[in-house]
Structure 1
Amino acid sequence: MKYLGWICLALMAVACSHHTSEEHVEIIAPEELPQEEPLTRFGFLVDSFDIKEGHIRNNENLSTILAKYGVDYGTIDLLAKESRDVFDVRRLAAGRKYTLLCDKDSSGYAKCFIYEKSPVDYVVFDWRDSLQIYQGAKQVDTVRRTVSGEINSSLYMNMVRNGVDPGLAISLSEIYAWTIDFYRIQKGDQYKIVFDELYVDEKPVGIGQIHGTWFKHSGEDIYAFYFEQDEHGDYFDVEAQGLRKAFLKAPLKFSRISSHYSLRRFHPVQKRYKAHLGTDYAAPTGTPIHSVGDGVITHAAYTSGNGRYVKVRHNGTYTTQYLHMSRIGDGIKPGKYVKQGDVIGYVGSTGLATGPHVCFRFWKNGVQVDPLKEKLPPSEPVRKENMDAFEKVKAQLKKELDAIPVRPEREQTVSL
């Protein structure tokens, strides 16, 4: 009996222990795993197709590409005709990327063709159920960046060494086109830029808005702040004066001055001293020549001395002339109105010239003058009612620019 009592006590303890355990058990429902978003490209579900990618080859066209993937010539012809209002298929450029969406079955027939005009823009040719041709654009992400540098060679090469899109050099030259002569940039000149870089699929594809810049040229600090008034944006200096002037500093974006305005210069062709009342800008044949200001074409002709040339009357005070062109721009003829920056011709060596260049001549009140020494009229400043808003933008950008360090060319700095 004694042993039986101990056994009963043990069984009761086990039962109590089991009961207590059940009271604390929690039933946890299985977690619902988040469903992955279906993978899409160009608006199509990728899993529904067999994807083929390639690049346009030299002499390749829409017909030769699609025929390889079972598309009949009747459909190809219809695609070419129906796409004219959206995109001319004759403009497929060698090197551009394309994507084909094909059936997953053994036939592998193509059902859609996507041509990437640029890293951002594309054209879709869809002939599955009904013919659809339309343009699209990839998502573009913007990253604010800063860059600075000290120039020891050229601004363009400095940008390349700096690891940024060299197109930023073009943009910078356009901002300061009325203020700095980029053909006279000196060793030791410095710059700082606050700008947006554009990304598609986490890859840089170009330069967006330039918010503010600082350029130290010949010992002078020149700021440029982007500011919008009346929905129109422009660049202004620290005094709220517009950087844009009535005339560009030069008719070419990038080149070098090969001969300055002079009252006595030895002519390389005529072999004698005479006045050279223009400024020569050397550049490769075919380089675009831009009108330095708005105006009306008065001459677009050829003479034995000037070669092919164009003359523009800007107003009652100023006239400009551009000599030795390889050819005159399309549609450029007397009476045509051109805007500042319009291409009016291309660099050449026609007439009395020893090499490709443009001789740029500048008249003021009928007298030829040195344009590099002229004080040109400014554009509209920030208006009084917008000054408070401008001062806030300027203060923020100037603080940001001043905080960017400038290092020698071998120690360039780029930051996100």
Structure 2
Amino acid sequence: MKKLVVLLFVVLIIACKEKKPEILPIPEKIIYEFGYRLNDYKVINDTIKSGENFSEILTKNKVDYSKIHEIVTKTKDSFNIRSLRAGKPYTILAKNDSTQQAQVFIYRRSLIEYTIIDFKDSLITVHNGKKPITKVIKTASGIITTHLSHAIKSQGLSPDLTYKMADEVFAWAIDFSKLQKNDKFRLIYEQFYLEDTIPVGIGKIKAAYFEHNDKPFYAFNYMVDSTKKASDYYDDKANVLRRQFLKMPVKFSRISSKYNLQRRIAYYGNKIKAHKGTDYAAPIGTPIEATANGTVIESKYAGGNGNYVKI
């Protein structure tokens, strides 16, 4: 009996002893970006400040003047250092040691595009690259209450959809300066994403439907030349939408003064002063396109017309 009690006591002591947890080392996460293993460098992310130049950026990152001169000289034919713009982000890959000297300069021209200047070896190289993006097919629809851009913006959609509809898809079929309340639209389009979550632009509108003045307009994007990747838009009867005449001479804008032969102006005592044209309001620098082929018969500056070309 005593032996049994002793045995139970020993078992209880062993059972009550806590087993020490085994601590396993956490493996280092390997990170690749811009074609480099970032774990091998000290990564410095910064933004170009107003008045800051390429030389100053490299100097503060421990690159001496002779090396900077060599970099500028050897890359002048492939990268213009004067193209750096204040507010643009950049990344420095520096030595992962006590010197922390810059080895690679990466200028981020946009969310997608970047330029790499690699000077860690005697061979200095310049490379332009793009971050991988994903393409998602999305749909959108809306009803015009005031104007098209408001209908797009009110749904949190990209304003690029407004310009693409007006300037690319239906430019030859619909005069977007004359849209009516309750006009409708439906779209199937490409949305590009960076890292699957950050929207970075609109691709092609794959298909569109627009109801204007109760008249339906259809557009389907079709690849007409796969070698040149050229496509065009066709209606529901397989007719190309690109016609001889554009509906508007400027990219999506608004009419500031309509054609009106019975126009009365208070300044002239409400007398009839015909307006024999249509005025479009657009930002300075907006390209003006001829609505059809023709011959230029006059090009000059003239009074109220300002600089004009007559076709």
TM-score (norm 2): 0.81
The yes-or-no answer on 1:143 pairing with 2:136 is yes
- CA distance in 2 between counterparts of 1:160 and 1:38 reads 41
- Residues 158, 85 of structure 1: alpha-carbon distance in 2 compared, 3 angstrom cutoff: farther
- Residues 285, 228 of structure 1: alpha-carbon distance in 2 compared, 3 angstrom cutoff: closer
Q: What are the Cα deviations for residues 57-93 of structure 1, in whole angstroms up to 9, with x where unaligned? A: 2222212222210122333333334334333221222
- CA distance in 2 between counterparts of 1:63 and 1:268 reads 62
Q: Secondary structure at the match of 1:197?
A: strand
- Residues 94, 298 of structure 1: alpha-carbon distance in 2 compared, 3 angstrom cutoff: farther
Q: Secondary structure at the match of 1:290?
A: coil
Task: Tell me by how many angstroms 1:285 deviates.
Answer: 4.1
- CA distance in 2 between counterparts of 1:211 and 1:233 reads 10
1:201-220, aligned counterparts within 5 Å?
201-202=195-196, 203-220=198-215
What residue is the counterpart of 1:304 in the other structure? 303
- CA distance in 2 between counterparts of 1:158 and 1:115 reads 37
What residue is the counterpart of 2:192 in the other structure? 198
Q: What are the Cα deviations for residues 249-270 of structure 1, in whole angstroms up to 9, with x where unaligned? A: 1122232212222334346887
Task: Tell me by how many angstroms 1:198 deviates.
Answer: 0.7
Q: What are the Cα deviations for residues 342-395 of structure 1, in whole angstroms up to 9, with x where unaligned? A: xxxxxxxxxxxxxxxxxxxxxxxxxxxxxxxxxxxxxxxxxxxxxxxxxxxxxx
- CA distance in 2 between counterparts of 1:76 and 1:296 reads 54
What residue is the counterpart of 1:154 in the other structure? 147
- CA distance in 2 between counterparts of 1:155 and 1:58 reads 37
Task: Tell me by how many angstroms 1:298 deviates.
Answer: 4.7
1:332-411, aligned counterparts within 5 Å?
none
Task: Tell me by how many angstroms 1:244 deviates.
Answer: 1.1
What residue is the counterpart of 1:63 in the other structure? 55
Task: Tell me by how many angstroms 1:296 deviates.
Answer: 5.8
The yes-or-no answer on 1:223 pairing with 2:221 is no
- CA distance in 2 between counterparts of 1:119 and 1:294 reads 39
Task: Tell me by how many angstroms 1:178 deviates.
Answer: 1.1
1:13-412, aligned counterparts within 5 Å?
38-129=30-121, 130-174=123-167, 175-202=169-196, 203-231=198-226, 232-266=230-264, 273-293=272-292, 297-311=296-310, 319=311
Letter in 1 for 2:175: D
- CA distance in 2 between counterparts of 1:61 and 1:159 reads 40
- CA distance in 2 between counterparts of 1:269 and 1:124 reads 62
Determine which structure has greater relative contact order: mean sequence separation of CA pairs < 8 Å that are 6+ residues apart, divided by chain length: 1
CA contact (8 A) 1:214 1:223 kept: yes
Q: What are the Cα deviations for residues 270-325 of structure 1, in whole angstroms up to 9, with x where unaligned? A: 776444221111234444433334556554321224221123xxxxxxx3xxxxxx
Task: Tell me by how many angstroms 1:187 deviates.
Answer: 2.1
Q: What are the Cα deviations for residues 128-158 of structure 1, in whole angstroms up to 9, with x where unaligned? A: 1120011111112111111111122332232
- CA distance in 2 between counterparts of 1:297 and 1:69 reads 57
- Residues 74, 187 of structure 1: alpha-carbon distance in 2 compared, 3 angstrom cutoff: farther
Letter in 1 for 2:192: L
Unaligned runs of 5+ in 1: 1-34, 312-318, 320-416
Q: Secondary structure at the match of 2:107?
A: strand
Q: Aligned residues, how many?
A: 278
Q: Tell which deviates more after alignment, 137-146 or 280-289.
A: 280-289
- Residues 105, 283 of structure 1: alpha-carbon distance in 2 compared, 3 angstrom cutoff: same
Unaligned runs of 5+ in 2: 1-26
How high is the sequence identity, in percent, across the aligned residues? Answer: 38
Task: Tell me by how many angstroms 1:237 deviates.
Answer: 0.5
Task: Tell me by how many angstroms 1:230 deviates.
Answer: 3.3
- Residues 107, 181 of structure 1: alpha-carbon distance in 2 compared, 3 angstrom cutoff: same
Q: What are the Cα deviations for residues 105-140 of structure 1, in whole angstroms up to 9, with x where unaligned? A: 122111111111122211101101120011111112
